[in-house]
Chains A and B, each alone.
Chain A
């Protein structure tokens, strides 16, 4: 039925500021930047994954009333809009150090997880972005885990 995910929307409050961050700091590239009259159609993608795009969308008329757009902006800046994207990297620590030096706001430093190493940051508006360096193999469940889960009655 479907072959891939091509575009998903990320709500931003200012497209130029979004470009400064996503392109200038995170390393995305602009795919489309078209003035449609009623909106600026602005998509970005990673050079290594050009088929998967983020649409940087500003809430506002005529799509949304001013009142509803204000509610959306309120939610974005409260960090209530969830994760904008989970990005994969080959080297989480190096990515963290590079972006930290650029002043990127990290909410979580690189931490070893069962699935790899990851950290998290916010874009200038409050959207959450996760960066994951995936483990070479799936997390292993040990005998100690199995023993701990076994009900004592068994």
Chain B
């Protein structure tokens, strides 16, 4: 692998950590450590590699996972907020509405289960600027 390809793999490892541990308090320093980079270099490299900042990626992963949880009738919106890493219900609801365009409750009313393996849901249902 070239140095650039090795860097891609390290950045992908950090992105995978966000996909896997989205509910935990992840900060740039911890993610940069996974990628074996300084925080400043990590943020810049992540953006040039994946097209968005680590913060934005993680925020939208959390909202995507919230959408997935809301497709199940058995959890409350407050529980969902906690399960995807938001300490405050207000912040979660505001962020959800800003990204999805409707409130968590409205989303749940209209949502359907998605019958494909979860990695495809994660890849295709994460709200991003690319869609």
Contact = CB atoms under 8 A, between A and B. Distances in A.
Contact of A130 (B108, B109, B119): B119
B37 to A, nearest CB: 15
Interface string A81-123: 0010010000000000000000001111101011100101010
Interface string A30-70: 00000000000000000000000000000000000000001
Contact of B9 (A109, A111, A120, A126): A126
Nearest to A77: B8
B131 interface: no
Contacts of B119: 83, 108, 120, 128, 130
B52 interface: no
Given A74-B4, A78-B49, A113 B16 contact: no
A144 B118 CA distance: 22
Contact of B12 (A79, A86, A149): A79
A109 B19 CA distance: 11
B118 A78 contact: no
A111 B118 contact: yes
Nearest to A149: B112
Nearest to B15: A79
Contacts, number: 69
A43 B109 CA distance: 48
A145 interface: yes
B82 to A, nearest CB: 18
Interface string A111-154: 10111001010100110101010000001010011001100100
Given A108-B20, A109-B20, A114 B115 contact: yes
Interface of B: 1-2, 4-6, 8-9, 11-13, 15-16, 19-20, 49-50, 73-74, 108-109, 112-113, 115, 117-120
15 contacts: A73-B1, A73-B5, A77-B9, A78-B12, A78-B49, A106-B20, A108-B19, A115-B115, A122-B12, A126-B9, A126-B12, A130-B117, A148-B73, A148-B108, A152-B109
Interface of A: 13, 70, 73-74, 77-79, 83, 86, 105-109, 111, 113-115, 118, 120, 122, 125-126, 128, 130, 132, 139, 141, 144-145, 148-149, 152
